[in-house]
Amino acid sequence: MSNSTLYLRVAEDLRLNKGQWDAYESQGNCVVLAGPGSGKTKTLTLKLARMLIEDVQAPRGLACITYNNECARELEERLGALGVEPGGRVFIGTVHSFSLTQIILPYAKVAQMGLPDDFKVASRSEQRTALERAFFQAIGGPENPQSWDLPMNRYRKSIIDRTGREWKERDPQLAQLVETFETELRKVGRIDFDDMPLLAIRSLQQHNWLRNALYAKYPILVVDEYQDLGLALHQMVMALCFNTGMRLFAVGDVDQSIYGFTGASPELLQELSERDDVETIKLRLNYRCGSRIVTAATYALGEDRDYEAARGTGEGTVYFHPQNEAYPTQATFLCSTLLPEIRTRLPHLKLGDIAVLYPAAFIGDHVAEAAQTAGLSILRSDGNALYPRGSRLMRWLEQCAEWCCGGWRRGSPRFGRITSEGQHLFAEVLSTEDARLVFQQRLIDVLWGQKNESELLACWLRNLYDALISDLAKACRTMEDDVEILRAFIGRCSEGDCQAMTISQFAGQGTGLDSLNLTTLHSSKGREFSVVIMFGIDAGRLPRRNLTSRELVESRRLFYVGLTRAKTEVHMMFSARNPSQFISELQRRLDE
């Protein structure tokens, strides 16, 4: 069997699951409602391969919009394992990347988007400066302008059409702030990430020729994690898939919609799934969680979804650990007592198979301090991490460090993968084959000369930045923020709290196999662990106080998402005197 038809053999596994097979066999517009652990990524990857090979004739292709860059990278790797190299026929990336690379950059001038030819994407510091200037012009007063950032962005994403009365009348103050903020960005030749889908959807709605141009290139649009992507993406789908004839294949789960504060709306997925011209398929088998955890998740959600643990997942266990002390003491108990008990009971587990989830990053600080005292390595994925885990540049540098720390000898990670990811990162300036070959040669020269895993990280990062990254990043429109993050981290490694950090320790941030995972509940979405410890699940933390009914429902979904990250064991740690209502309800239902 050739590589290009490998997907046919792998897809035979889907026949054992009716929902997965129906999704694979679907012909027209299709929405797949995929619960936690339902094998949706495998199903999606095989469907992508089939549509690309069977349904779309070259040189046309398909576009796949994902929630974040990690999701995009996983899909690309899985397609590669099926012998399908995405190449130029396939776009896989975020809605921001799709908007920028497929609509704004090619068509900004002819679509009259009002952008200068040399515009760039603003860094966080540039956005803060623009917001400060806009605040003092549009509102004024003694408040911190940055406190307006979230409501401003929520408002600008909630109303796409600014020509109607709603834009000016729903909240005139926020409307004025948004317009002034965007004007300040344009003065310095900048757009921000929220601009990207907004500019794209307005242009699609205004220009029929633009919709037809995208349809000519991509007759199929795939959307993953639909419930998280907001109104602009939904209207983009409406404009492309129900006007031009572009075929839609969307995957999502209303129950895992936890980003309402960013503008996500689960009702949009529900609305889409109820259309007469859309086939809706449900994946109900959970291949991740033990049966007891699936039952607990149903109780946590408060609604029956008819989910069932697949054969072979085991029973699973939910433990409750009421605590009488403050967070620092609870964290000490976690690291010195609870973790050793878990690892004694499950001796095959690596530390990286265990995650501690909590409602807010500051709570994770207590766990991090206790872990350090206990001599445990940690990997944080929250706002207090060494650097933002969402930075594409930093994640790529982790891979480079891993290669320098023996990966070149083991063949893991492969140098070809590192090169490919780097070329993708700097794709805007590596647009020719000659440029990509030069990049590959410079990369091997730099990394081969720094294969000393005990070398201090500061020197390694500076050499890589000066020899390779600096010039490329300057020429990219979207790298300002990543470079700002890298420079700040180099400063910490040179003169701050990370001076003693080695290349090997930095590489461990990427692999995480021997590190305890610390993450907020929000950042845990899309991940899975053998054991999950939910820490600080107290009233006032989850849910927070004085929530609207809508916010309370989303908090319940957040609790559900955390619980369903676990395969084998879930441990609930909470204040005995002030437990979350979700804990009390769950404990009562499980004891019935």
Q: Are 578 and 538 in contact (CB under 8 A)?
A: yes
The pLDDT > 90 percentage for the chain reads 77
- Whether 114 maps to a domain, the answer reads no
On whether the CB atoms of residues 180 and 134 are closer than 8 A, the answer is yes
Q: Are 221 and 272 in contact (CB under 8 A)?
A: no
What is the reported pLDDT for 513? 64
Q: Name which residue leads in pLDDT, 305 or 217.
A: 217
pLDDT at 86: 66
What is the helix (H) or strand (E) element at residue 554, kind and residue range? Answer: helix 549-563
User: Looking at residues 452-474, what average pLDDT do you find?
Assistant: 91
pLDDT grade for 470, boundaries at 50, 70 and 90: very high
- Select from 54, 526, 584 the least CA-distant residue to 302: 584
Q: pLDDT tens digits, residue range 22-41? A: 999 999 999 999 999 999 99
Same domain, 441 and 499: yes
Residue 35 assigned ligand-binding role = yes
- Same-domain status, 341 and 368: yes
Per-residue pLDDT tens digits for 535-577: 999 999 999 999 999 999 999 999 999 999 999 999 999 999 9
Q: 126: domain range?
A: 120-188
Dihedral sign computed on CA atoms, order 252, 258, 263, 267: positive
Report the distance separating Cα 151 and Cα 157, nearest Å: 10
pLDDT at residue 510 tops 80 = no
480 in a structural domain: yes
What counts of helices (H) and strands (E) characterise the chain? Answer: 28, 16
Whether residue 34 is annotated as binding a ligand: the answer is yes
Residue 438 covered by a domain: yes
Q: At which residue do the structure tokens 């046919």 appear?
A: 8
The gap between the terminal CA atoms of the chain, to the nearest Å, is 54
The mean per-residue pLDDT over the stretch 53-66 comes to: 93
Which of 227, 259, 283 is at the close of a domain?
283
Mean pLDDT of 103-128: 93
Does residue 401 lie within any of the structural domains?
yes
Which of 485, 508, 531 is at the close of a domain?
A: 508
Q: Are residues 473 and 402 in the same domain?
A: yes
CATH number of the domain bearing residue 342: 3.40.50.300
Flag whether 157 is marked binding: no
**pTM, rounded to two decimals:** 0.91
- Judge residue 555's burial from the number of C-beta atoms within 10 Å of its C-beta, 0-12 exposed, 13-18 middle, 19 or more buried: buried
Q: What's the total number of domains in the chain?
A: 4
pLDDT in the model for residue 512: 54
Burial 12-21 (b: 16+ CB within 10 A, else e): eebeebebbb
Distance CA 312, CA 300 (A): 23
Same domain as 326, residue 429: no
Residue 2's pLDDT is: 46
Judged against a pLDDT cut of 50, whether residue 1 lies above it is answered with no
39 is in an annotated binding site: yes
Rg (CA), the chain: 24
Reported residue count of the chain is 592
Contact (Cβ atoms closer than 8 angstroms) between residue 223 and residue 233: yes
Same domain membership, residue 245 and residue 311: no
Non-local CB neighbours of 162 within 8 Å, separated by 6+ positions? 175
Asked if the structure places residue 53 within a domain, the reply is yes
Residue 454: the pLDDT is 81
Instruction: Choose between 511 and 59: higher pLDDT.
Output: 59
Cα Dmax for the chain: 70
Name the band, by pLDDT with cuts 50, 70 and 90, for residue 519.
very high
- Any binding-site annotation on 580? no
Do residue 496 and residue 441 come from a single domain? Answer: yes
- Mean pLDDT estimate for the chain: 92
CB neighbours of residue 199 within 10 Å = 21
- Of 349, 369, 367, nearest to 531 by C-alpha is 349
DSSP assignment string, 400-430: HHHIIIIIHHHT-S-HHHHHHHHHHHTTTT-
The answer to whether residues 359 and 453 belong to one domain is: no
The verdict on 170 and 299 lying in the same domain is no
Query: Around Cβ 475, how many Cβ atoms within 10 Å?
Result: 11
Beta strand residue intervals within 20-155, DSSP E = 30-34, 62-66, 90-94, 120-121
The residue out of 486, 508, 530 marking a domain boundary is: 508
364 shares its domain with 482: no
Same domain? For 584 and 445 the reply is: no
Tell me whether residue 230 is in a domain: yes
**Mean pLDDT of all residues in 76-96:** 85
Residue-wise pLDDT for 268-285, tens only, equals 999 999 999 999 999 999
For β-strands 120-121 and 285-286, DSSP reports them as unpaired
Q: Residue 218 to residues 26, 184, 234: CA-CA distances in angstroms?
A: 18, 35, 17
Examine the domain organization and report whether 339 and 240 are in the same domain.
Answer: no
Omega within 30 of 0 (cis) for the link into 413:
yes
Q: Which amino acid is at 364?
A: G
Neighbouring C-beta atoms of residue 489, cutoff 10 Å:
23
Q: Is residue 196 part of a domain?
A: no
Q: What is the 3-state secondary structure of 356-375? A: EEECCHHHHHHHHHHHHHCC
Residue appearing with tokens 């109900």: 284
Q: What is the pLDDT of residues 400-437, one digit of tens each?
A: 999 999 888 888 888 988 998 898 889 888 988 999 99
Residue type, 178: V
In this structure, is residue 330 part of a structural domain?
yes
260 and 297 share one domain? no
Q: What distances in angstroms separate CA 581 from CA 69, 370, 536, one per listed residue?
A: 35, 27, 13
37 is in an annotated binding site: yes
Q: What are the C-alpha distances in Å from 114 to residues 107, 130, 186?
A: 11, 18, 9
- By CB atoms closer than 10 A (0-12, 13-18, 19+), residue 62 is buried
Side chain identity, residue 175: A
* Distance of alpha carbon 172 from alpha carbon 82, whole angstroms: 52
> Taking the CA of residue 338 as centre, how many other CA atoms within 13 Å lie in the half-sphere pointing to its CB?
28
432-436 long-range Cβ contacts below 8 angstroms, 24+ apart: none
Residue 450's pLDDT band (cuts 50, 70, 90): confident
Residue 334 tokens, joined: 């976690």
Res 128: pLDDT: 95
Mean pLDDT of 319-327: 96
What is the pLDDT averaged over residues 36-47?
Answer: 95
